[in-house]
């Protein structure tokens, strides 16, 4: 008799089942370190007055930005878990209902927000609403088309996912389509984190050579992506009737006619 396999609820819970616990693991620290370096490069040349990071208080994505006001939006239930270690202006709210005025923010950063949001479309709509025209939106997330994504897919079938089980990872191509529908134009993007999906720190440390190799030979298969987009003005619309009358074109003179005309103009007037 073939034994009945245990259900997913009966399997042991992996030690990094939650997002916060996973970030404290060796692969979690690895991706936080890589993203910190890339965020430092991408926000340094974004200018304005107000910059906001949504979620992920374990990392300061605005560290190298020189705007006078930096704010962190975090849910009220998570405020006690994470002290204000970066001296942000804290805002307690949900990412799908931002308590910010329309067109008031110059820089908005969403580190791993869309993949853990119940309605990622609504989060992007709110981002478009609060950003000023020509404001910058920066998004990071896991790449499903990577070795990490493949291991996550296979391991979820047996109930022990490598990445947090509550994440719904979205491809960069789909995010690009969503941004274009909201009148964003892509500014820059990058993939990173090419190490194998291992769990031990010592094993991952021996995979440093894969960073340069992956960035050169298989760049779109990095475990993490970061994309930057700029909010553009919507197209202008003409109001009223368009005048169809055209200005008559100036006829061109032939060389012979032009010489004759110059000769006539040079003669002295007859008294």
Cα–Cα distance list, 150 to 73, 117, 154, 195, 200 (Å)? 32, 21, 6, 13, 19
Tens digits of residue pLDDT in 9-37: 343 444 445 888 899 999 999 999 999 99
| pLDDT of the residue at 241 | 52
| pLDDT of the residue at 245 | 46
Phi, psi values for residue 151, rounded to 5°? -65, -40
What's the rounded Cα separation, in Å, for the pair 79 and 183? 33
Where residue 187 falls (left for φ over 0; alpha for ψ -120 to 50; beta otherwise) is: alpha
| pLDDT of the residue at 249 | 44
Question: 89 is written with which tokens?
Answer: 């202006």
CA atoms within 13 A on the CB side of 137: 31
pLDDT band at 213 (very low <50, low <70, confident <90, very high): confident
Query: Among 16, 42, 40, which Cα is nearest to 29's?
Result: 16
Tens digits of residue pLDDT in 95-114: 999 999 999 999 999 999 99
Tens digits of residue pLDDT in 134-154: 999 999 999 999 999 999 888
Is 60 exceeded by the pLDDT of residue 2? no
Residues sharing a CB contact under 8 Å with residue 235, sequence separation 6 or more, in sequence order: none
Residues sharing a CB contact under 8 Å with residue 234, sequence separation 6 or more, in sequence order: 183
Residues 116/19, Cβ–Cβ less than 8 Å = yes
Region 230-245 average pLDDT: 60
Task: Give the CATH number of domain 17-230; options: 3.30.70.600, 2.40.50.100, 3.40.50.300, 3.40.50.150.
Answer: 3.40.50.150
């Amino acid at each position: 008799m073939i034994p009945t396999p245990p259900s997913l609820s009966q399997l042991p819970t992996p030690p990094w089942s939650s997002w916060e616990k996973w970030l404290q693991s060796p692969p979690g620290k690895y991706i936080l370190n890589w993203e910190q370096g890339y965020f430092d490069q991408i926000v340094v040349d974004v200018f304005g007055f107000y910059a906001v990071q949504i979620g992920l208080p374990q990392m300061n994505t605005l560290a190298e930005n020189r705007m006078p006001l930096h704010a962190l939006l975090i849910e009220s239930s998570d405020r006690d878990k994470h002290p204000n270690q970066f001296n942000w202006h804290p805002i307690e709210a949900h990412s799908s209902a931002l308590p910010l005025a329309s067109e008031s923010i110059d820089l908005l950063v969403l580190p791993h927000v869309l993949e853990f949001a119940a309605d990622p479309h609504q989060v992007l709509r709110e981002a478009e609403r609060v950003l000023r025209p020509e404001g910058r939106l920066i998004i990071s997330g896991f790449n499903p088309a990577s070795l990490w994504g493949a291991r996550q897919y296979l391991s979820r079938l047996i109930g022990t996912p490598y990445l947090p089980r509550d994440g719904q990872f979205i491809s960069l191509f789909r995010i690009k389509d969503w941004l274009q529908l909201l009148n964003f134009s892509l500014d820059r993007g990058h993939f990173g984190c090419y190490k194998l999906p291992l769990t031990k720190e010592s094993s991952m440390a021996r995979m440093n050579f894969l960073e340069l190799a992956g960035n050169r030979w298989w760049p779109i298969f990095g475990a993490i992506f970061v994309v930057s987009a700029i909010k553009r003005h919507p197209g202008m619309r003409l109001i009223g009737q368009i005048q169809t009358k055209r200005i008559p074109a100036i006829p061109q003179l032939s060389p012979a006619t032009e010489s004759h005309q110059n000769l006539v103009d040079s003669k002295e007037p007859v008294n």
